Amino acid sequence: MKTLTTKDLAFTSITAAIWAALNVTIVPLFWQATRLPILCDLIGVSLFVTTAWWTRKPGAVTLMGLVTTLLNFALRPGALHFLGFTAAAIFYDAATLLAGYQRLTTLNSLNLAVTLVLSLCSTAIAGAIIGFFFMPPAALGNYGGVAAFTLLHAAGGGIGGLLGLVIVKELTRRGIQG
């Protein structure tokens, strides 16, 4: 099994720090303004895709999710809901390992679809965990609150998956390889 190199660890640390910094500064403002839980998913999944593409090794996305979780807890101790995103990172990492990292290097329609499905599923898991365990029932409404919250997270993940693929394609086009 391939192990993470120091370059992989550096890239993973950078993406974790970016996600944590944006999650502590901009995401709460977006949430207060819109009550839409899509920005953290968008940021997180775009970083999942780029981290998986850069390292092409199992464990990198999980490590990024764990480091981001620790940074979030250090900066916002009450933000226990972020555990949903930790689970999303673990799922995305395992699913990408099963689907194959080559899907991120050759962007055809099938690989695009697989990456989008993984993005949607991982953030749907995050949304379900957050909605079920960490949101007060009144915040979710009476009918289908957790399901709607899950779908909103999945929408953010889908957008983030597209953004991640655009980033990967542009980095590759400029000759940058993970």
120-149 pLDDT, tens per residue?
Answer: 999 999 999 998 888 876 666 655 688 888
Neighbours of 109 (CB within 10 A): 7
Name the percent of the chain lying above pLDDT 90.
76
Alpha helices (H) along 35-133:
39-55, 60-75, 83-99, 109-129
Name the percent of the chain lying above pLDDT 70.
94
**Which residue bears the tokens 């542009």?**
170
53, part of any domain: yes
CA gap 133, 128 in Å, rounded: 8
Of 93-97, 109-113, 130-134, give the range with the top mean pLDDT: 93-97
Number of compact structural domains in the chain? 1
38, part of any domain: yes
Structural domain boundaries enclosing 77: 6-173
Q: Which two tokens stand for residue 28?
A: 């709460």
178, part of any domain: no
Q: What is the pLDDT of residues 3-49, one digit of tens each?
A: 899 999 999 999 999 999 999 999 999 999 998 889 999 999 999 99
60, part of any domain: yes
Contact 120, 150 (CB under 8 A): no
Side-chain-side CA neighbours of residue 49 (13 Å): 33
81, part of any domain: yes
